[in-house]
Amino acid sequence: MAKIIVYNNDTDNMETFYRQENDPMPYNTGNTLTVREFRGTSNSPTLWTTKRVMQSWNAQRYLWGSPINVGYAFRRPWEGRTSECNLNIMPEQHLMLPKDGQMNKEQLYEQVQ
């Protein structure tokens, strides 16, 4: 069982959840991100994130329209990397949608590069 600490940007409070590895992450829509996927190879009993990160995941997953391989997107900088890697971290990435609100996979890919 994982202890998940979430900073709720709307209420300015920290929230604590306890979830099994196959349960969805807090604030996750449609069970598209499980605790196991979020944890990756981390052995930490405590995981943390923000509500906005989960909402960004939901939006990106919705726009992408198919499963997204999580890989190491949520690893801590020191987990599974060498000192030669660039450790610049953006905890949240906000997508710029066109005025009509429509975006295809190629446009999404260009924004995250």
Residue 11, C-beta contacts closer than 8 angstroms, at least 6 positions apart: none
pLDDT for residue 29: 87
Give the pLDDT of residue 105. 61
Which stretch, 18-22, 74-78, 89-93, has highest mean pLDDT?
Answer: 18-22
Confidence at residue 51, expressed as pLDDT on a 0 to 100 scale: 92
User: What's the pLDDT tens digit per position in 93-111?
Assistant: 445 555 555 666 666 566 5
Q: What is the mean pLDDT of the chain?
A: 75
**Residue ranges covered by each domain of the chain:** 2-112
Closest CA to 51 of 26, 75, 72, 30: 26
Indicate yes or no: pTM above 0.85: no
